[in-house]
Structures are given as C-alpha cells and as structure tokens.
Structure 1
Amino acid sequence: MTSLTLGDSLPNPEGSAREARRPSHPVALIIALITAAIVLLPIATIIAVALSSGGADWPHLVRYVLPQASRTTAVLLALVAFGTAFIGIGCAWLVVAYDFPTRRLLAWALVLPLAVPPYLAAYAFAEFFDYVGPLQSMIRGIFGFQSRNQYWFPEIRSTGGAALVMVSVTFPYVYLTTRVVFLMQGRNIADVARTLGAAPARVFWRVLLPVARPAIAAGIALVLMETINDIGAVEHLGVRTLTLSVYSTWLNRGSLEGAAQIALVMLLLVIALLAAERAARSRQRFHAPRATQMKSRPPRIRLSGWRAAAAAFLGVIPILFGFGIPLLIFGRYALNRLEQIMDPKLAQAFFTSLSVALATAALTVGMALVLLYAVRLSRSRKMAVLVRIASIGYGLPGTILALGLLISLARFDNFVDALAREYAGFSTGLIFTGSAVAVVLACSIRFLALAEGAVHSGLEKLPPHLDEAARSLGRSAASSTLTVLLPLLKPAILTACILVFVDTVKELSATILLRPFGFNTLATFVYENASRGVVEDGAMAALVIIATSIAPVILLSGALMRDREA
C-alpha cells in the first residue's frame, strides 16, 4: 500500500478522460504539415530568391520600375476601392430599404457580374468603348461627327479604364457582404432609430453604415486582392501595375531575380490586405435574432411612379456594365463566327480546361476534407493553425504563386535529374516544370481556401459527436467517415467542387506562366487571341467561360431572393 506525500501530485480523472477522448492522429498531422509546407513553399522560394540575388537588378527596379508601377497600382487600388464601395453599398441599400416592382429581380441579378472574369470584361470594354465600337459609332451617328478630333471621349486604355473594368465585375463582393448586414442587423436597429424620429437618410448614415463598416472593409479587401491578382485586364489596357511588372521583368528582361524582388514587394502588400480583411472580420459582431424576427420581412419604403423607375434604372446600370456589355460584345462576335464551334483548337482548349478543372476540384476538395477531418478528430489548436496556414493561398496573386512554384519545381526536377545521372546513368529531364501537373498544383494551392470554407460550413452543421457515436457502435474512424460523415456532407462537397471547378476554368494569371508549350485552356485561348488583336476569335471560348461561371452565381442568387435565408 502506497501513501501520498505533500509533494505528490493528485491524479486528475477529468483530464485523463479528456486526453483519452483525444487520441493522437500522426497521419493526419503529417498530411496537414505536408499541405501547409506545399502552400508556403512558393512564398519561401520567392523570399529566398529575392534576398539571395546579387542585387544587380535592384538599382534598375528602384529607379525605373517600382516607382511608376507602385504609383499606378496605388491609384488603381484607390479607384477600385472607392468605386466598389459606392456601388456595392448603394445597391445593397437600394434593394433592402426600398420596395419597387423590379426589386426582387435586381436583388439577385446584381450578383451576375461575378460570372465575368476581369480579363474578359477588359476585352469587351476595349471593344465597346473603342473608336469603332458601338458606343462611339452611335455618338458620331447622332451628332454627325466625322472624326475623333470633333468630340471628346474618355480613353478606356488607361488606369481609369482599368478601374472601371475592375469595379464593374467586383462590386458584388461589397454588395453581398453589406446586404447581409443590412438584412440581419439593420432591420431591428433601423426600426428603433425610426421610432425615435430619425429620417431614412439619417438612419442610413448614422446607424446602418457604421454597423456595416467591418463587412464593407472585408468586401473591399477581397476586391483589392482580386485587383492585384489580375494580369489579363491590365496588360490588355496598357496599365503597368506591379503584377504586370513581375510578368514583363521575368519574360521580357529575362531577370528571374528581379521578378522575385517585385513579387516580394507585392507580397508585403497582399499581407497588409489579408491583415486588414482579418481585422475587419474580427470586428464583425452579429446578434442572433429570434425566429419570428428572421421570418418577418424588413420594412421598406414603397416607391411608385418616376421614383420606382429611377430606382430600377439605378439598379440596372451596374448589371449592364458588369454583365451586359461582355455578353453583348462576345455574343455578337460569336453569332458572326458560329463555325468556330467546330474549331479543333477550341475543342482542345475546352477539354483541357475541363480536365484541369476536374483534377483540381478533386485534389483540392480531397485536401480540404482531410485537413478538416484531422481538425475534427484531434481537436488540436496546432492542427487548426496548420489548416489556416494551408488556406492562405487564396490571398496570393497567381503571378506570385506561379513564379515561386516554378522556381521550386525547377530546382526539384534538377535535383532528381542530377541523382539519376549520377547513380542510374540517365537523365529524367523536367518532370513537373512546365507540365499540367504544375498548373493543377498551383490552382489547388490557390483555391484550397474555397473548398475548405464550403466543406467547413457543412461540417459545422453536423453534431460534433456524430462520428464518435458511430465509433462507439463498433465502426472504425475510416468506416464512420465513409458511411456516416461523407453522405451527410454531400451538399457541402458538391458546393466546394463547383466553386473550385469554376474558379479554375477562369484562372489565367498562374496558367499562362506555368502551362507547357501548346497547352491551352479556355482562358489562355481567349488571352492569346486578345494578345494578337483578334478578340473576336476568342468570343466563343469567352461565352463558355461566362456560362460555366454563371452556375454558382445562380445558386447564390436563388438564396438571395429569399431574404430570410440571406
């Protein structure tokens, strides 16, 4: 019989039981570590190459490249931030606070511009606003002008034109985040303010807008990250941003180190935007309304006559710019070139996009499922941190991701080739560099956050001890996952697959840098035709991209039509 002294520690049954319920999962931890390492590898490579170079390119970059590119990028970001905030907030307030005949239609149609990638919008805007385009041709026909010197028209191939393009297709980010806050939070506090005698305008400026400020900031941060990622639109419109400078320094000047140094500057900017977006999200606080409040419709001011017509007109303008102009331009070109449907190059680009998107969706959703299930099993803070690290790829511009990944894969291929030459007497050549595998890997890293978010939302709706209950009935962890969790997660998994599939089809910036010779997706097919000055030859491919992108937008828009589910 043993006795306890004062210095002995007493056993903790509760702690022992808790530890027993939290088994270690080394395989899940290893997979999470590998995934996080793969995501961080391009970033680490960019930093290493930028800091380890001899600095021969740095004086040229500081004197001739960075000042102009930084100013242009800053001006573009400022214009896009102001424009998306103005249109997104205004449209959200319009469909939430007022009632007019086309309000329900506009509420979901305002999301349609998300189906148009910025580079497609840039190609369409350049054609629409060009001297021989339909708008200026109509102006000359109405007023009888014979030449451009007789009237003034803004130049679309400018920083302002690029800002117009980006605002037209990205304002729904701000519209969505702001509208949700107005619906969920605004209905109660706005009622209180109105009962105290506040006018509608005062309620908006003094009550609703401050409440929605964190959501607005989060939406603008997403818009700015999308703007930094773009390369097709700014290149076509002749706007030299930091992203385009990375591309041109690498390919035109042949300076990989200089491109890495510019990418490092961009990386610092992206980190600042990610921090701002994270801070904005952390400041969002939502109270949980009662079920009766959620089912009640928010009070709206009914408009009629010319006021209703004016409200409908203001709501339609952003849709016409962000969705109508691209659809008009590419639709008109496609109708004049119906024979392109049988073009073997277009068919090859379509099947390449399909295969890459399917492979990316399968790999990305599989990685997300493994990571999230590892967190669910271990319930470890370290695992949650690893999952968060693995999800930062969505904030990385495709150019930075492609550059870092290309350098990493090239070094790996050279290492394997050197080993094969030394020990086996043959050359392996390039295994991953310049292959479709590199494109799939880049897209998987970039869109892992989309899949993780969609699957996580479905996993949160399941009871936390559902899989534990299955295992207590004799099922193994693998069996309970396959027979219990995955069938219940089918809607979330399908949503994740659709989101990743669509974004992969639209992806351009990483694909044009990593693709092998002769490898064309629909996005690069349109890009190559636009680079040759024949946008019309890529019209059919552009319509396929837009049609593919509409699928998730329609799903989202259908939910937005029901205010109680918004």
Structure 2
Amino acid sequence: MVAVALAAATGSLETIQHLAETVLFRYTMTTLALMLLVAVFTAIIGTGTAWLVTMTKFPGVRFFEVALALPFAFPAYVMGYAYTDFLDHPGAVQTTLRSLTGWGPRDYWFPEIRSVEGAAIMLTLVLYPYVYLLARAAFLQESATANIAARSMGRNAWSAFFAVSLPMARPAIAGGVLLAVMETIADFGTVSYFGIQTFATGIYTSWFSLADRAGAAQLALCLLSFALFLAILERTQRGAARNYHAGKRFERVPPVALFGWHRIGAIVACAAPVFFGFVLPLVLLFEMGLGSEQDLFSDRYLGFIQNSIILASVASIVTVGSAFLLSFNVRLNPSKTSMFAAHVSRIGYAVPGGVIAVGLLVPFALLDNTIDAYMRSTFGIRTGLLFTGTIAVLIMAYAVRFMAAALNTVDAGMTTINPSTDAVARTLGRSPLQMLWSVHIPILRPTVLTALLVVFVDVMKELPATLIMRPFNFDTLAVQAYRLASDERLEGAAVPSLVIVMVGLLPVIIVCKTLARKNTSSRSAQADTSHLA
C-alpha cells in the first residue's frame, strides 16, 4: 500500500489531470454501478434463498440447502465466457429465435450480454453464495422465542420475518454483501472481456498498453481507497451489531410447511440460482469444450496445468504456513502488536489483485534497477531483472491476497484447542515451535487441509495479479482461458475454464458436507425434543 501511494505521489499532476478529464469519471461511475447492482441482487437472492431453506419445508429443501452453494465454484469470468457464447448474436438462443420467427439481424431487440448489467448478473450468480452462507448460518442460530413472541402479538410469518428474523440476521447479511462488493471491485476478467471500463481494467491498460506506470499507480490508489473503505465498513458493521438469545434455552425456529402456490414459488426461487449459476453454465462449457480443438492432454496444456499447480501449491503452503505463525503468535502472546499484525495481514482480502501487483512491482523494479546500476558502475556487469517477473514475487502477491482466507480458517481451528494443552506441552519441555509442529498441527490436520485447499483453489482462479506479474512464457489455465476468450475463441476457452471449475468444486463440496452435517444434527435434536414432548 505504501508503494502504491508513493508511486502515485511521484506521478506528475498532468497525469492525474489527464485521467480526471478523460476516464476517471467513467471508471468511477461504472465501478459504482456494478457495486450497487451486485449488492442489491446478491442481498435479495442470498437472503431469500437462505430464509426459504432454513425457515420453511417444501419438496427438495435438503437438496437446495447444499446446491445453492455450488455456483461458488465458478469464477465470474468463466461464467461470462459460457453465457456470451450462449446469448450473443451467433449463439444458440438468438440463432434459434431467428430460425423460428424468420427475423433478420435488425428485426428484433435482444438484451446485450456485454454490458454493465450483464457483468452484474454474472458477478451476482457467482457471489450470492457469500450472502446465502452467512445469512443461513445466522438464521440457524436464531432462537424460536423471539419469533414466537412476534407471532403471539399478531404477526404472520412474513411480518415476523421482516420484524424479527431479518433485523437479527442483518450483520451477517451486510457482511456477505460487502464481501461480494469487494470481490466485484477486484474483478478483472469479466469486465475486461465484456469491454467495461472500470478501475481494474484501467490499471492494466495504463500499465501495459500505455506504459504509464504513474497513471496506473494513481488509478490503483483510487481503487485501494475504495477497497479499504469497504473493509473498514465491513469491520465496523460487524463489530457494532449484537443480538442475544432470549431466554435460558435455545430452540430453533420450527420450519413452516408450504403448500400450493407457495410451495411451487419456493421451489422455483431456489432452483433458478442453481440452474442459472451452476447447471446451465456447466453444460454450456462441456458442450463448448467438446466442439473445440483444444487437447487437454497435449504438452502445451499439460504445461499450463503444471504451472497452475506449481503456483497454487507453493502459494498455499507459504500462505497457510504464514497464517499458522501469525495465529500461533497471537495465541502465545496476545499483545496489541501481535493482534495488530494479524489484523493488518487480513487487509489483503479487500485489495484487488491489480493493486497488489502494482504495489509489489514498483518497489521490486526500483530494487532491480538499483542493483543493476551498481553492478554496472562497479564491476561492469549487467544483472537485469533479478526479482521483477519472477515466481517468488508472484507468490508474495498471492500470499497478500489470500492471507485472510487462510488466517480465518486457522483461527477457527485454534479456538477449539484448550489452552491447557499448551501448558501441558510446555511443562514437558516443548518449545513454542516444537509445540506447534508436534501438538497443534496434528490436532488441526483437517483445518490445515481445508486452509490449503481453499488457498489452492483461490490461486487457481486468480487472474489480474497473475496476468500482470507472471514470468515470461509462464502461462496458467486462467491466463490461457482469458487469452482465448479475448481472441473470441470461446470454445477453446471452455477447456481450461472447465478444469478451473472442477478444481473449484472441491472446497464447495467440503462446505456443502459441513452444512448438511450441521443441519442433520439440528434436525435430529429437534426430533428428539419433539419425541420427549
């Protein structure tokens, strides 16, 4: 962040004036429009479906409560590739429409998928699970006592939902919406492919197309300000709101059975996000992949897969290892310094990949130039670029971007270990690092594997930082998919996109199993209570 601010400050006033006169207003309005649309759509879809599967009973509710998380496996840019091929002028939908009606290309109007609204829909389809998962967890934790009190005062089910359930779940819903919005401003692949000019695309254009690093840094500073404002807002709203269970006994709100049109409406409301966010794009990608000339088992594609796996594996090990050290340091020494370090390391989740790339490339390029100048003047040797454009700096970017995901997972596991375990290990002569290696990590093996898997998949999907910082001739599946889609070779882009989606399903399946296990436990407890009553 310091490097971005300094690089922006060293740029001339002419650069920022030129940006203000030409693209800054457009970047701002487009980014704000995307943020607003995604915030509204994800709040409605995520909250509505979470309430339906938690508070009501209808056929298929057990299936929908886990299937609604599946669109999480799709990167937004992959969703955009699939729907563009399906809905564009030469796509299946418009081709069928023209063949059935006999219309010509100019005889009808059809919504343009490559638009701000289209990008917002693509982002909504993959980001609403943020709101769904958090809202559902909040609804599951609500006690029936407050709901019963509202119903006893004459409220019907819908009125009780808006008066009691929704306000109690507001912090979780707001947190999910803000996470979705932060992912929206960080998105590069979707808006770039759709030709939408946002801060994310402006940074890439200024850095590479215009070779204007000062302009890129100034745009990155604007986007960083956006991201940090949202991060502070998320932290503030999460820390300010509290709700407590009424009464001494916790009872879940009994689900209400739906009948007639209400039942049909609930099924349609839950099936639509699953179908349009997972089933249809997956089918489209398979169909596109079968019709392409891309050979997944060719040496070239095996190289893409190998590069992706190397980057994701190294980044996940470095990131999760660092997260363990940070979390363990807070556990051993919960001082203001250690807690501040943990909080600062979480900021990366709110910083777009393009901003991180600029923030790392600027100081390392300066370091490379300084070393090269010294070696030439002293020894007559040209060292070139020692750090810039290397895997090591790219791994740094991944660690910064995804440290929050790893640290949150590790912290959740650390809280389950009784502090007396640490005391016993220390009395047996274990040093802190020995205790971490021989006691905590074996106990937290499932947590370690989950954190590694989450970061692994996030790195596989990451595009802007990889696109800007990757070593020369070191392409990944995400970069290959973006390159083919940019050349309008969507059928070819489907092949690497499918691999990314298949890998992305792994953590989603873990989340789904956890949700199903928790729901089964709560249903069993309810059944036992009903039997005793």
TM-score class, shorter-chain normalisation, is over 0.9
Alpha-carbon distance, 1:565 to partner: 6.5
Give the conservation status (yes or no) of the 8 Å contact 1:333–1:536. Answer: yes
Matched, 1:274 2:231: yes
> Hey, what does 1:475 align to over in structure 2?
430
- Equivalent residue number for residue 452 of structure 1: 407
1:216 aligns with 2:180: no
Please state if 1:74 is matched with 2:32: yes
Task: Tell me how far 1:420 sits from its aligned partner.
Answer: 3.2
- 2:289 aligns with 334
**In structure 1, what is the equivalent of residue 58 of structure 2?**
100
- 1:156 paired with 2:113, answer yes
User: Alpha-carbon deviation of 1:314?
Assistant: 1.6
Q: How many residues end up aligned between the 2 structures?
A: 521
2-structure distance, mates of 1:71, 1:481: 49
Identity of aligned residues (%): 36
Q: What's the offset of the Cα at 1:337? A: 3.7
Partner of 2:530: none
Tell me how far apart the structure 2 counterparts of residues 373 and 212 of structure 1 sit (CA, whole Å).
31
Q: Distance in 2 between matches of 1:59 and 1:132?
A: 42
C-alpha separation between the residues in 1 aligned to 2:502 and 2:25?
39
- Cα distance in 1 between the residues matched to 2:11 and 2:214: 6
Contact persistence 2:319–2:406 (CA under 8 A): yes
Distance in 2 (alpha carbons) for counterparts of 1:345 and 1:329:
24
Q: 2:4 maps to which residue? A: 46
Change (3 A) 1:321 1:291: farther
Give the AA of the match of 1:51. A
| Structure-to-structure mapping, 1:92-491, within 5 angstroms | 92-142=50-100, 144-185=101-142, 187-287=144-244, 293=250, 298-337=253-292, 340-491=295-446
- Contact residue 114 and residue 169 of structure 1 kept, 8 A: yes
1:91 partner letter: T
Does structure 1 conserve the Cα–Cα contact (< 8 Å) formed by 2:311 and 2:395?
yes
Instruction: Name 2:526's counterpart in structure 1.
Output: none
1:466 corresponds to which letter in structure 2?
T
Name the aligned partner's letter for residue 70 of structure 2. L
Q: CA deviation at 1:373?
A: 1.5
Q: Matches of 2:198 and 2:258 in 1, distance apart?
A: 44
Residue 20 of structure 1 aligns with which residue?
Answer: none
1:267-302 Cα shifts (integer Å, max 9, x gaps): 1111111111111211342536899746x5x31221
Please, which runs of 5 or more residues in structure 2 have no aligned partner? 523-533
Q: Match for 1:111: what amino acid?
A: A
Which residue is equivalent to 1:8?
none
Contact kept in structure 1, 2:168 and 2:243, CA below 8 Å: no
CA distance in 2 between counterparts of 1:364 and 1:45 reads 21
Please point out which of 491, 496, 503 is paired with 1:536. 491
Amino acid at match of 1:209: L
Determine if contact 2:115/2:194 at 8 Å carries over to the other structure: yes
User: Based on CA coordinates, which of the two structures has the bigger radius of gyration?
Assistant: 1
Aligned residue number for residue 17 of structure 1: none
Q: Which amino acid aligns with 1:282?
A: G
Structure 1 position 338, deviation (Å): 7.4
Compared CA separation, residues 564 and 64, structure 1 to 2 (3 A): same
Residues 505/339 of structure 1: CA separation in 2 closer, same or farther (3 Å cut)? closer
Instruction: Give how far 1:369 is off.
Output: 1.1
Q: 1:267 to 1:339 in 2, by over 3 A?
A: closer
1 CA distance for matches of 2:26 and 2:124? 22
Name the amino acid aligned to 1:523. A
- The Cα RMSD (Å) is 1.9
User: Against the structure 1 CA distance between its residues 89 and 478, is the aligned structure 2 distance closer, same or farther, given a 3 Å change threshold?
Assistant: closer
1:500 match: 455
CA shift at 1:353, angstroms? 0.4
- SS, match of residue 216 in structure 2: helix
In structure 2, distance between residues paired with 1:195 and 1:249: 62
Shift of 1:195: 2.7
Q: Identify the residue that residue 525 of structure 2 maps to in structure 1.
A: none
**Offset at residue 502 of structure 1 (A):** 0.5
Matching residue of 2:49: 91
Shift of 1:146: 2.3
On the 8 A contact 1:512/1:524 being kept in 2, the answer is: yes
Letter matched to residue 418 of structure 2: P
Q: Check conservation: 1:369, 1:452, Cα contact below 8 A.
A: yes
8 Å CA contact retained: 2:81, 2:494: no
Q: Distance in 1 between matches of 2:296 and 2:215?
A: 42
- Counterparts of 1:27-42 in structure 2, within 5 Å, are none
Structure 1 unmatched runs, 5+: 1-42
Question: Do the aligned residues in 1 keep the contact of 2:54 with 2:139 (CA within 8 Å)?
Answer: yes
Q: Is the 8 A contact 1:215 1:280 kept in 2?
A: no
Moved more, 301-310 or 128-137: 301-310
Larger deviation, residues 205-214 vs 111-120: 205-214
1:242-263 deviations in Å (ceiling 9; x for gaps)? 1111111222222110111111
